Amino acid sequence: MKLAICQSEIKYLDFEYNLQHAKKAIHEAACNKSDCIVFPEMSFTGFSMNTKLTSRYSNSSLESMKSFAAADNITIGFGWTEMQSDNISYNHYSFISSNGDIILDYIKIHPFSYAGEDLYFKGGTSLPRSSMFNVDFQCAICYDLRFPEIFRINPDKIQAVIIPANWPEKRLQHWKVLLQARAIENQVYIIGVNCTGVQDGLLYSGGSMAISPDGSIICNCGDKPGLYYTDINPLNVKNIRKNFPVLNDRRRELYNI
């Protein structure tokens, strides 16, 4: 599977601007024969706890991505906000195939309480898995990366984890180390998708990357916005696990998973 990582410079809370830039990126990725393109967390608004505002774009996000996916015959991964009531909002990341089907919809499990995210968002309660182009995958969002437990539940049933984020520059070293650790621990491809630019006074400096199941960095997007490409080969996962069968030595009865 050829994957396009869109390390976008998100213009804070400017949905139309970000959507039009996404449309161009989607078309460019399709022209470069990508099977799927992935965007950062809250792809078209940037990270905000003003859920009354960001949730206004929920339907537009979903319908636009369905249209763009069909037009360019590509699968799209993108983030959006859902508000169910004044007190309950969800941070979603969805994958829409070229025929308009939502093949995976994930809700961020761990709101970032350090910044008060838990006051505005309710955490998800499931870890859905799906498949695209013969790759079995799941998703995590930003702060979820700090919780290795969710990656250890069924690592032998997936070959890739896609992790969209709005991860600030001041903790970028944590991002890089944790992405690599999750790949090594679980012998899976890890694809981290971060943004660049300034949002609400916070600096974001990219650092998106793809890491192979043996822990080597196979795509490093640096600190500039743009499209970056990588290949995900499920056979590589199988061979690495066969030649170095770490997962076979888990003591699941002691881990409570």
Q: What is the pLDDT of residues 170-213, one digit of tens each?
A: 999 999 999 999 999 999 999 999 999 999 999 999 999 999 99
| The domain over range 2-255 is classified in CATH as 2.30.30.40 | no
- pLDDT at residue 116 is higher than 70: yes
- Spatial neighbors of 40 by CB under 8 A, at least 6 apart, are 6, 7, 8, 10, 79, 164, 165, 166, 193, 194, 195, 208
- Spatial neighbors of 170 by CB under 8 A, at least 6 apart, are 203
CA dihedral 180, 39, 10, 192 (to 10 degrees): 0
The number of residues making up the chain comes to: 257
Rg (CA), the chain: 17
Q: What is the pLDDT of residues 70-110, one digit of tens each?
A: 999 999 999 999 998 777 899 999 999 999 999 999 999 99
Amino acid at 118: D
- pLDDT at residue 246 is higher than 70: yes
Residue whose entry in the numeric block shows the structure tokens 């609400």? 200
| Mean pLDDT score, 7-17 | 98
- pLDDT at residue 16 is higher than 80: yes
Q: Parallel, antiparallel, or unpaired for β 135-139 and 160-164?
A: parallel
Nearest to 197 by CA among 40, 38, 60: 40
